[in-house]
């Protein structure tokens, strides 16, 4: 599902115009991104949580030469779905 499809569905469900809905979706995404960048977690009960996660530096291997390759430490955004979210996805795909 694309952002445009999300905007269409929310606009239809709420009665807002697509322009208003797109502004809300953009605002939501901007707020979540800025919070995670600033080191805050974002928790949406029943949906999931967004946060930044530190990955330590490590040594990997080049698969062609088998030579060690250093991989720098980095910070990545992660999403952890809520239990209800996971359960609904599992139930939908269990059949």
Count of domains for the chain: 1
Q: Tell me what pLDDT residue 95 has.
A: 67
CA distances from residue 59 to 11, 19, 66, 68, 70 in whole angstroms, order as listed: 48, 48, 12, 6, 5
The domain that holds 76 is classified in CATH as 4.10.520.10
Angle formed at CA 32 by CA 85 and CA 14, multiple of 5 degrees: 65
Residue 37 tokens, joined = 């960048």
Q: What is the pLDDT of residues 4-47, one digit of tens each?
A: 999 999 999 999 999 999 999 999 999 999 999 999 999 999 99
pTM of the model: 0.81
Kindly state the average pLDDT of the residues 49-76.
97
Q: How much is the mean pLDDT over the chain?
A: 96
Residues of the domain holding 9 = 3-93
Q: Tell me what pLDDT residue 94 has.
A: 85
């Amino acid at each position: 599902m694309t952002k445009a499809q999300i905007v269409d569905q929310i606009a239809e469900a709420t009665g807002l115009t697509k322009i208003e809905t797109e502004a809300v979706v953009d605002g939501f995404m901007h707020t979540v991104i800025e919070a995670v960048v600033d080191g805050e977690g974002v928790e949406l009960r029943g949906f999931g949580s967004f946060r930044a996660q530190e990955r330590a530096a490590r040594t990997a291997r080049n698969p062609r030469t088998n030579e060690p390759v250093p991989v720098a430490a980095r910070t990545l955004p992660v999403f952890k779905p809520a239990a209800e979210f996971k359960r609904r996805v599992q139930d939908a795909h269990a059949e």
